[in-house]
Amino acid sequence: MDDDQKWLAAAAEIEQDIRYLKTAMCAGKPNGTYTTLAQDIQYLKTVLAVYRKNAAKGVSWPNPDDLYCINTLPFAQQVSTATRRDFKTAI
């Protein structure tokens, strides 16, 4: 599987997560949980857009030992991406 396919496969999984959260929103009542789910969906839509753009631009898939970070910037609806290589996990 090449890098573009990996980004697209990950994007497909994110789409499933979005559908799941939308279903949960419809089943719930408008309260704090509803608002949290709406925020989660918005964040996942940002991630989905980044993954699709990465696939289209041929961005290489991150190393499994690296942490791929996506941050939304508060102004002008921009997105910042970075790969942290200093990320370590405890075993």
Cβ contact 84:66 at 8 Å: yes
Confidence of residue 10 (pLDDT cuts 50, 70, 90): very high
The string of pLDDT tens digits covering residues 32-90 is 677 788 889 999 999 999 999 999 999 999 888 787 888 887 766 678 888 877 665 55
Average pLDDT over residues 20-37: 79
pLDDT at position 84 = 77
State if pTM tops 0.85: no
